[in-house]
Chains A and B, each alone.
Chain A
Amino acid sequence: MNRAIFIAPVFAWLLAAIAMPFALILAISFGEATQGAPPFDWGFSLASYRLLLSDDLYLGALANAARIAGTSTLICLLVGYPMALAIVRARPQHRALLLFLVMLPFWTSFLIRVYAWMGLLRPTGLVNAALAEFGLVDAPLQLIANEFAVHLGIVYAYLPFMVLPLYATLEKLDARLLEAAYDLGAEPRRAFWRVTFPLSLPGVAAGALLVFIPASGEFVIPDLLGGPDSPMIGRVLWFEFFQNRDWPMACALATALAALLAVPLLLFDRLRSATT
């Protein structure tokens, strides 16, 4: 079998470098925290999961993450869909440049893009300075360290992930289908909702997944732009690990997050195999 010489080495790498670490997370989530190095003992204890289910901090953080990532994904869709449609309908010679402009922020440092918003949103930041300059506010608005800033940061950071898959599906869509809809008496708005939008649903699903999943586990944005009021799971996991040094708990949280994310991933997989 010739193919084996290609498949075997890559498969071995994937098992060692990906499957083994994830299996270890699952195993260690059943361990017990100690003072040693590494700070846990192997075992089969449900203590971490029991704590996870009984403490509002953890369940709340999971719920917050799902909620904030969900609304951010929706906003990304509402902003990103018209952008993708505008690029598809731009003159062909402009399309490559417009697409490049969407991709470019994705290539530039994530941390730095979040940092840029910190400078804008602070009480002494530019947005408040501008609002005060035009006399729109008397006292600086609290724009940072709250959920608003987290939403803004997520939309800002992940918007390209929404636009690109949407562009890819819309671009492949046969222009004649839209013409057929016009031909059959549908004016542009109707043609959009009856033909373009339903046929772009795979792109919508892919974009939503690409935004929702990383956003739900996001650490940097809630840490730098968010406040203490609504902790998200990524940040809680981080503190559990770095501050409390409770590895089994961190692993249990990671397992819970992965289990939750499996739901949209499986749905997406079903959708994709149903449409192809």
Chain B
Amino acid sequence: MMRRPTSATLPTVLAAGFAFLYLPIVIMAAFSFNESRLVTVWGGFSTKWYGELFGNVRMLESAGLSFAVATVSATLAAGIGTLAGYVLGRLGRFPGRALFALLLLAPMVLPEVILGLAMLMAFATLDSLIGWPAERGFLAIAFAHACYGTAFVAVIVEARLRGIDPALEEAARDLGAKPWRAFARVTLPLLAPAVAAGWLLAFTLSLDDLVVASFVSGPGATTLPMLVYSSVRLGLSPQINALATVMVVCIACVAWAASRIGTTRAKL
């Protein structure tokens, strides 16, 4: 492609955009090492908030719950989402395809408040009909998050399927494999990077979710975002800065690793 006559406008806008995206996070992380309790006045370097953070039992319990919910919901979403993406990407037209696509993608496009409310309405109705789930805790949140994550996994898987030659699966059938076997032996391994990326996305979305979990969860279950939210409403706290920094660093590492997997697999 032709190099345009040298213009610095676009790179400048890009740099400014990145500064806008990253400066608040960087400043927040910097203040997590602040000796002072005041979140905006620098009082010297300290890691004491990290010490307090890791001594905070409620925080650790919530984090544990969030991780468990995210793991279960992402796994469920990866399974259903892969099948759904395969149905959309490979199986062509079938009666009700438009409804299928609409239902699949609705959780992704609708605001979270609607989705959270819908999930709670479903659980409450089920509870009054069959007495389950009376205590809306771990399973209810995981299930609600799985509905949300499924859409994202399906979209990623469908996009990846478009890059895989359908003749490969036909070749497998030609060689005597039944549809399920052709899918499991040929398509699924080729989809693995997309499924992994989808799992990671569903995992992070679940870990991050405040709104749906707030609607769905009963009194006993408090996820990490719910805890962060209630303490943030009370005001800024250096402990939250420390927690945020830990989360940002972890997620950056995971995202970087995920994108490496994606690119190295794509080169093969």
Contact = CB atoms under 8 A, between A and B. Distances in A.
B107 interface: yes
Interface string B27-39: 1100100000001
Given A3-B94, A14-B100, A19-B103, A86 B14 contact: yes
Interface string A136-172: 0000000000000000000010011001000000000
Interface string B86-128: 1100010010100010011011011111100111011011011
Nearest to A117: B24
A188 B14 contact: no
A74 B87 CA distance: 36
Interface string A79-103: 1101101110110000010101111
Contacts of A83: 13-14, 17
A85 B251 CA distance: 27
Contacts of A104: 252, 255
Nearest to B179: A2
Interface stretch (B43-51, B52-60, B229-237): B229-237
Given A116-B244, A213-B111, A96 B80 contact: no
Contact of B118 (A25, A96, A107, A120): A25
Nearest to B31: A119
A116 B236 CA distance: 9
A105 interface: yes
A250 B233 contact: no
A113 B25 contact: yes
Contacts, number: 229
Interface stretch (A44-52, A197-205, A253-261): A253-261
Given A89-B4, A109-B208, A217 B114 contact: yes
Contacts of A18: 103-104, 106-107, 147
A262 to B, nearest CB: 10
Interface residues of A, number: 88
B10 A86 contact: yes
Given A38-B128, A83-B17, A115-B244, A213 B109 contact: yes
B228 A217 contact: no
A189 B128 CA distance: 64
Chain B binding surface, main DSSP class: helix
Interface string B58-93: 000000000000000000000010011011000100
- How many chain B residues sit at the interface, stated as a range, is 35 or more
Contact of A15 (B24, B27, B103, B118): B103
B25 A254 contact: no
B93 to A, nearest CB: 10
Of B111, B229, B244, B254, chain A has the most CB atoms within 10 Å of the CB of B111
Contacts of B25: 105, 108, 112-113, 116
A134 interface: no
Secondary structure of the A contact surface, majority rule: helix
Contacts of B84: 10, 14
A22 interface: yes
Interface of B: 1-2, 4-5, 9-11, 13-14, 17-18, 20-22, 24-25, 27-28, 31, 39-40, 80, 83-84, 86-87, 91, 94, 96, 100, 103-104, 106-107, 109-114, 117-119, 121-122, 124-125, 127-128, 143, 146-147, 179-180, 183, 204, 207-208, 210-211, 214-215, 225, 228-229, 232-233, 236, 240-241, 244, 247-248, 251-252, 254-256, 259, 263
Given A2-B179, A108-B25, A111-B208, 4 more contacts: A6-B91, A38-B128, A129-B40, A254-B118
The 10 closest A-B pairs by CB, nearest first: A217-B111, A21-B118, A86-B14, A86-B10, A21-B122, A116-B24, A175-B1, A82-B13, A14-B103, A116-B28
23 contacts: A5-B179, A7-B94, A10-B80, A15-B103, A18-B104, A25-B117, A79-B17, A86-B13, A89-B10, A96-B263, A105-B22, A109-B225, A112-B25, A112-B228, A112-B240, A112-B248, A129-B40, A188-B4, A224-B232, A234-B111, A237-B113, A257-B113, A265-B109
